[in-house]
Amino acid sequence: MNKILVTGGAGYIGSHTVVELMNSWYEVVIVDNFSNSNPGSIDGIERIIGRRPVLVEADCSDYSQMHELFKKHSDIAGVIHFAALKAVGESVEKPLEYYRNNILSIINLLSLLREFGGKHFVFSSSCTVYGQPDVLPVTEQSPLKPAMSPYGNTKKVGEDIIRDTVLASANISAIALRYFNPIGAHPSSEIGELPLGKPDNLVPFITQTAAGIRPKLQIFGNDYNSPDGTAIRDYFHVVDLAKAHVLALDRLFKGSNKSNFEVFNVGAGQGVTVLEIVKAFEKVSGKKLNYEIVGRRAGDIEKVWADTSLAEKELGWKVKSSLEDALLTAWNWEKKVRGI
């Protein structure tokens, strides 16, 4: 019983995790509706590991489609749930779409795990649940703050639904990983982040600007309380994040989890400013980046970085790649995609 359903497995973090799972001992079934991902990533996964994961094209928020999938793969032992809408700004415009998609998906997957006897659930949560923390770095015990957006609230409510469900279902155990800011791409440049349209996130915007697709990067605010005035985040390599999922799943399979619902921060544990990212990118790419400082972006917090000692102690996980490595792989991927 080693079959894992990876929802959103064609997406950015999902595809990197599928590679690590298949390189470990797991058999993978991907479910994706390609609403914000690309079937090409399945080819990339195959080129990296020499085997192709099983792919089901379906929508996790559609119970009957998911029921069909579980009927066909009734030996699914666990789920890693990535599939979600994730644009913070869009979620403010379309809250019902975000709640319907992100929340129904969780409810469907937990219901089907219960019905078909699957036991393990790993959830993509986010440091967004901490809001602007009063004390840094944030630990898993830091207080949760009211979400700044419907998207952020789907992560908070998602954790609540999972916690309540596993407490009532002795057979299911779950781990929520609270991601900080994953960046970079697989070192092979076969898979990476490929945002549809204008990127929301900093690093894809930087690489697209360096590739000449965007005229300039706008840096949102230089009046924050930080060494250079720009906001601070905890950036880390997506391959390290992918490995955290394998360790979380291993922990559930081994039964070494200490409760039915556990939460871990996953980040580098270091705060870096936007301008430091720009400088590090210029150094590794050898490209001068065109940028301007503009006003703050609505809903942004000033600074956040993780205390990752719990993940280190319990999962044996810690970042291995440097910020520079991560930025270089992001740039190599962008160059490959654009044929530069």
CA distance 102 to 150: 10
Stretch that binds ligand UFG, among 7-15, 117-125, 135-143, 201-209 (CB under 6 A): 201-209
Binding mask 84-113 for ligand UFG (x = CB under 6 A): --x-x-------------------------
Binding mask 8-47 for ligand UFG (x = CB under 6 A): ----------------------------------------
Length in residues, the chain: 340
CB of 194 to ligand UFG, least distance (A): 15
- CB-wise, 41 or 124, nearer to ligand UFG? 124
| 151 is a catalytic site residue | yes
Q: Which of 300, 312, 314, 325 binds ligand UFG (CB under 6 A)?
A: 300
Stretch that binds ligand UFG, among 11-19, 70-78, 216-224, 258-266 (CB under 6 A): 216-224
CB of 88 to ligand UFG, least distance (A): 5
List binders of ligand UFG among 152-181 (CB under 6 A): 152, 181
24 close to 47: Cβ distance less than 8 angstroms:
no
Please give the backbone phi and psi of residue 306, each rounded to the nearest 5 degrees, phi first. Answer: -100, 145
CB of 235 to ligand UFG, least distance (A): 8
Q: Which of 12, 70, 123, 205 binds ligand UFG (CB under 6 A)?
A: 205
CA distance 182 to 95: 25
- CB-wise, 231 or 319, nearer to ligand UFG? 231
Residue type, position 26, single letter: Y
Q: How big is the site for ligand UFG, counted in residues (CB under 6 A)? A: 21
Angle of CA points 317, 323, 324, to nearest 5°: 135
Stretch that binds ligand UFG, among 39-47, 126-134, 243-251, 252-260 (CB under 6 A): 126-134
The residues, any chain, with a CB within 8 Å of residue 321's CB and separated by 6 or more, are: 184, 236, 237, 239, 240
| Ordered DSSP codes for 182-224 | EE---TTSSS----SSS--SHHHHHHHHHTTSSS-EEEE-S-S
If binding is defined by CB under 6 A, does position 127 make contact with ligand UFG? yes
The residues, any chain, with a CB within 8 Å of residue 61's CB and separated by 6 or more, are: 100, 101, 102, 104, 105, 108
- CB-wise, 17 or 128, nearer to ligand UFG? 128
Q: Residue 331, Cβ neighbours under 10 Å: how many?
A: 24
55 close to 30: Cβ distance less than 8 angstroms:
yes
| Residue 291: its H or E element | strand 291-294
List binders of ligand UFG among 255-284 (CB under 6 A): 274
155 close to 123: Cβ distance less than 8 angstroms:
no
Dihedral sign from CA coordinates of 90, 92, 96, 102: positive
CB of 201 to ligand UFG, least distance (A): 3
Binding mask 223-242 for ligand UFG (x = CB under 6 A): --------x-x---------
Catalytic residue among 130, 151, 179, 235: 151
- CB-wise, 233 or 243, nearer to ligand UFG? 233
318 close to 312: Cβ distance less than 8 angstroms:
yes
Residues contributing to the site for ligand UFG (CB under 6 A): 86, 88, 126-128, 151-152, 181, 200-202, 205, 217-220, 231, 233, 274, 297, 300
Residues marked active site are found at 151
